[in-house]
Amino acid sequence: MGERRANGEYATDGGTSTATATADDDVGGISAPTEDQEMPLADHIEEMIKRLAIVIVVAGSVSIVVFPLADQLINFLWYSVLPEGDVAQPRVYGPLEFILARIKVASLAGLIIALPVMVYQSYRFMRPGLYRNERKYYLAAVPTSLVLAVFGVLFAYFVVLPAIFTYFLTYSQDAGTIAFGLGDTFGLMLILIAYLAVVFQIPLIIMLAIMMGITTRAWLADKRLYFWGGFLGLAFISSPDPTGMAPIIIALTMAGLFEGTLLVLKWVGR
């Protein structure tokens, strides 16, 4: 049995024979990586930084383009979630609140567009070590990531934000005069939208992990209680809502996406 060298030669007990490594080399019927050569750690780090820089540049560029439209987006989002009138009138308590709100909404647009770019750049980073079928899965994940992010934004806009602010108004209106500060309130809106855009990537992450052989549906199903606990803890740690309403909704959403993905995989026999 010989040992394959990086130059395509095989070292055997009787000498050295040469074999050409092509893109059609198969391992168990699956095309093997054609660039499977070990890189120095410094090169790996340099490559990772370069890919991350591309994601940051894309997010920043989109944010700059969206920034002039931030005023309209703020008004649209604010009065779509809160009822028009004196109660919902935004209050500004600091000289930088409005400009910070504009930066936040522009950054949210950059984040949403950068999600599929990040998936693609991670594919480019890992491409030399992927089999051909794994490359196909990863490339298909790029548009899927954007679609899932849009679904997350729509879910936040139509379900989560109305539920949370209806709850705020209901339990607060008899306790005192309600005033919504622009900075804190709009910050909460944007954090929840961004958070759900990322949360809706859960099905994609699970599918990729299973298709690439990192884990199995049976293992995930067996450990579901650990994942539920992790979802709940992560939701409470990262949510700025002190009432606990938003973390509960987010945790239930994460668990629902997790279980829904496992159910679909069971139906299709994976």
pLDDT at 15: 46
pLDDT of residue 84: 66
pLDDT of residue 87: 63
User: Would you state the pLDDT for residue 60?
Assistant: 94
CA gap 235, 251 in Å, rounded:
6
Low-confidence ranges of the chain (pLDDT < 70): 1-39, 84-88, 172-178, 242, 269-270
Domain assignment of residue 148, yes or no: yes
Do 152 and 161 meet the contact criterion of CB atoms below 8 Å apart?
A: no
Bridge partner residues of 181 (DSSP):
91
Neighbouring C-beta atoms of residue 123, cutoff 10 Å: 19
- The DSSP string of 196-251 is HHHHTTHHHHHHHHHHTTS--HHHHHHTHHHHHHHHHHHHHHH---TTSHHHHHHH
- How far apart are alpha carbons 153 and 250 in whole angstroms? 13
In a domain, 29, yes or no: no
10 part of a folded domain: no
Whether 117 and 58 have beta carbons less than 8 Å apart is answered as: yes
pLDDT tens digits, 41-83: 777 788 889 999 999 999 999 999 999 999 898 888 888 888 7
Report the run of H or E that residue 18 belongs to, with start and end. strand 15-18
Domain that holds residue 251: 40-267
For residue 45, being part of any structural domain is answered with: yes
Domain count, the chain: 1
Looking at the domain assignment, is residue 81 inside a domain? yes
The pair of structure tokens assigned to 185 is 């309130």
In a domain, 196, yes or no: yes
Note the pTM of the prediction, 2 decimals. 0.72
CB-based contact 162:77 (threshold 8 Å): no
